Chain A
Amino acid sequence: EDQVTQSPEALRLQEGESSSLNCSYTVSGLRGLFWYRQDPGKGPEFLFTLYSAGEEKEKERLKATLTKKESFLHITAPKPEDSATYLCAVQVDQAGTALIFGKGTTLSVSS
């Protein structure tokens, strides 16, 4: 069964304290891995798409990386406005365009 696991479930950081979120996956055939950010009461906001092992994408304080078994979302010098739930999702060969989501990591950054 295709599965996505995110860790930790929750993470509290001080402003400026860098850290990483993990997304491990067990799938039959990966078509793409996606990172989203979700604020309370809102829909997920797209961050990155990664397609192959070794690929990296960056946007402001965020950097996403991909290996054959997991992806990391690195947050450098976070600010309070980075507080949100970060969701990882995969598309697999046998499931068409359906996204399989992890449960998310809720990040709180305090000043």
Chain B
Amino acid sequence: KAGVTQTPRYLIKTRGQQVTLSCSPISGHRSVSWYQQTPGQGLQFLFEYFSETQRNKGNFPGRFSGRQFSNSRSEMNVSTLELGDSALYLCASSQDDSADTQYFGPGTRLTVL
């Protein structure tokens, strides 16, 4: 079974721009979560989608948003990019929204100049 895929793998943007990242979950998985990983803060939860609905949101500004499609694929968007948004953005999928194991993709490395 194919794992979680994320595109693109690398992105370079400048301050003020916006960016969209994509995630395809493992086949049959309906829950998709997004995390930001930085050297200083480690892995931090951004938000979680289940059946096209945002079920949970972390402590990030409104510039960070996401959505989920009917095929469970998900996108996250960051508007008005700041230097501090440079990070590895990880997507994780699980079968449902209970206490279930989350499987991570390889991540998208975003660099903001």
Contact = CB atoms under 8 A, between A and B. Distances in A.
B112 to A, nearest CB: 18
B87 to A, nearest CB: 13
A46 to B, nearest CB: 6
B56 A97 contact: yes
Interface residues of B, number: 27
B99 interface: yes
Contact of A34 (B44, B56, B101, B107): B101
Interface in B75-111: 90, 92, 94, 97-107, 109
B56 A96 contact: yes
Contacts of B33: 97-99
A62 to B, nearest CB: 16
B45 interface: yes
A97 B104 contact: no
A43 B105 contact: yes
Given A96-B56, A100-B45, A43 B99 contact: no
B104 A43 contact: yes
Contact of A97 (B4, B43, B100): B100
B97 A45 contact: no
Q: For the complex of A and B, list the 3 residue pairs with the smallest distance between their C-beta atoms, beginning with the closest.
A: A43-B104, A96-B56, A101-B43
Given A43-B107, A97-B33, A97-B48, A102 B42 contact: yes
Interface in A59-111: 87, 89, 91, 95-104
B31 interface: yes
